[in-house]
Structure 1
Amino acid sequence: MKPVPRPTPETQPFWDGTAAGELRIQRCMACARHYFYPRPGCPHCGSADVEWVRVSGRATFCRDAGRCSRLQVGWCGGRV
């Protein structure tokens, strides 16, 4: 049997969303970029001004996003 995840203050809004049948991720208010996994600051610009938003779950990802440079990720569609 797999262990059940324990919500933390950083992840509680995500788990509340799953209980409501929603997918919620964080969005930076400073640079307007979405990101996941939950954390207190934006990994893109460093701002602590972040919010939780409901998203559709539909996205376009670059299959090579882990190997793309920042410029290439924008070119190949590696964004939520």
Structure 2
Amino acid sequence: MTKSTTETPESATSPVGHTVTISANRRAYFTEYLSACPSKNRCTRSELRRVMNVYPYHSYAKAKRKRLRAEGT
């Protein structure tokens, strides 16, 4: 039996460590960091902004992907 959750994280962190708060509409806006970010090309091709959508069950899906990688599936 699989445990389900509707947990949604309160913040998101970019690959280089920039942390932003997730808005009420479940979006994380990294716009303020984009112009000076040395790793911008890893996240977006946009010159203006980077927005990440965080959906319900995000934590569950992330944990499942991690477990599958560990099993070699």
Q: Given the two structures, how large is their TM-score scaled by the length of structure 1?
A: 0.26
- Structure (1 or 2) with the greater helix fraction: 2
- The higher relative CO (CA closer than 8 Å, separation ≥ 6) is in 2
